[in-house]
A and B are shown apart, each in its own frame.
Chain A
Amino acid sequence: MMTNPGNRLTQGQFSFLPPLTDKQISAQIKYALNNGWAIGVEYTDDPHPRDTYWEMYGNPMFDLKDPAGILMEINNCRKTFPNHYIRVTAFNSTRGFESPTMSYIVNRPEKEPGFGLIRRETAGRNIQYSIHSYATDKPEGERY
C-alpha cells in the first residue's frame, strides 16, 4: 500500500496541500511581515527530515514591508535551482522565541523518489529503523 502517493515531501506548513501559488505565497509572506518576522529563502537537495540546516539563498531579509521583494528572490532561487527543494522561513527574533516560526516549501523537484525504510538487526534480535532518501544515492547537485 502506498501511504504517500507521489512521494511528496511533507515537511513544514502546507505540505499536504497542493503547491502554493505565488499569490498564496505572497499572502503568507505578508502575514509574516506584519508580525515583524525576518524572512529567509533556503534550498537543499537532501530531503532527509533531519537535514535541518538548508543552504541560504542570499541574506535573510529584514525590515521589509512588501512581499514583492521576497517573491523576486524566490523566483531568482527557482531559476537557479529549478530541481531543488526551496523553502521560505520566517524568523521570530522576540526574546524567548528566537527561532523560525514559519517554514513552508515553495519549490520541489519534478520527480520525488521518496524514502526507503532500512531495518537493521542488532543484538537480541532488536530492530533499528532508519529512513533513506533514494535521491541521496547520487552525489550532491545531480540528485534530481
Chain B
Amino acid sequence: MAEQSKILKADEQFVDLDAEFRESNIREVLDKLDRELIGLKPVKARIHEIAALLLVDRVRKRLGLSAGAPSLHMCFTGNPGTGKTTVASRMSEILHRLDYVREGHLVSVTRDDLVGQYIGHTAPKTKEVIKRAMGGVLFIDEAYYLYKPENERDYGAESIEILLQTMENNRDDLVVILAGYKDRMDKFFQSNPGMRSRIAHHIDFPDYGVDELVAIAKLMLAAQNYRFSPDGEKAFIEYIRLRMAQEFFANARSVRNALDRARLRQANRLFTGGKKTLTNIDLMTIEAEDIRASRVFLEGKPDTATGPA
C-alpha cells in the first residue's frame, strides 16, 4: 500500500519537456543541422533520437530516476564526401549543449596521430591524444588504417587496445567517433570484435541524389557569395548527372571541387571578356559557360585525370 502511494506520488511530479527543450537551446543546433545539411535522413533521425534520449535522461536525473550515462561512442560509415566529418563536429556541439560532454571540442585524428614509429612510442602518443580529447569528442578518420592485419608487428593493435580501455573506463569523459568507408570498416570490425561491441551507434551515411547535390552546391555558393544563373543551374544539373556516372565521384567533395573550378573559369571569363565595367551581379554569377567548359562535357572525363575530383 505504501509502495503504491509512493508510485502515485512520483506520478504527480509534472515535467515540462518542452520547457526543458527550449532551455537547452538544442533546437537551434538541430535546426541548423536540418538547414545546413542536405539529405542524410537516417543520420538526422539518429541524432534526433540521441538528443531526445539525453534530454529525457536529464529530466529523469532531476527526478531521481538515474540510469547511468548511456554509451555514445559512434561509428560513421559512408562513401567519400557524404559529410561524416561535418556531422562529427556538429555532434560535439550537440552533446555539449546536452551536457553529455563538458567542453564540446572536436579532436580530429588519423592513424599518424595515434600510432608510434618504434616500440614504446605508441602508448604515450595515443594517451596524449586521448587526454587532449577529454571533455569532448575524439574523431578518428579512416579508422580502419589502425589495424593492419598483414603486418603482425604493426603497433596499431596497441593503440586500439588503449582506445578500447578508455572507451570503457572513461565513458563520462569523452566520446569516440570512428569514421571510414563501409566495406573497410566492416573488415576492421571483423578483426576487432571488441571495438564493434563497444560502439553503440553505427550510422551509415547514404550517397546523395542529384537534387541533393545541386542543393548542396547552392549552399556552398551562397556561403561564398556566388550564385548560379538559371542557365548555369541547368548546366550544373547536367554536369552532376554526367559526373556521377564517372569514376572517383566523391559526392559533396566533388561538388566543391567543381565549383572551385567554375569560379576559376568565371574569373577568367570576366578578365578576358570585353566588358570593361562589371556590376556586382556579374561578379556573383556563375554562368552556364563556366560549367560547360569542364572536361566532363568535352571529353567525358573528370577534370583532373590524376586523382579523385
User: Measuring CB to CB, which residues of chain A are less than 8 angstroms from any residue of chain B?
Assistant: 58-59, 61, 63-66, 68-70, 72-73
Contact = CB atoms under 8 A, between A and B. Distances in A.
A69 B134 contact: yes
Interface residues of B, number: 14
B128 A59 contact: yes
Contacts of B105: 65
A96 to B, nearest CB: 27
Interface of B: 102-103, 105, 124, 128, 130-132, 134-136, 170, 173-174
A88 B9 CA distance: 49
Most chain-A Cβ atoms within 10 A of its Cβ — which of B131, B135, B136, B170?
B131
A68 B128 contact: no
Given A63-B132, A65-B136, A66-B102, 16 more contacts: A59-B128, A61-B131, A64-B131, A64-B132, A65-B105, A65-B132, A66-B134, A66-B135, A66-B136, A68-B102, A68-B134, A68-B135, A68-B173, A68-B174, A70-B131, A73-B131
A63 B103 CA distance: 13
B128 to A, nearest CB: 7
B158 to A, nearest CB: 17
A27 to B, nearest CB: 13
15 contacts: A59-B128, A61-B131, A63-B132, A65-B132, A66-B102, A66-B103, A66-B134, A66-B135, A66-B136, A66-B173, A68-B134, A68-B135, A69-B131, A72-B170, A73-B131
A69 to B, nearest CB: 3
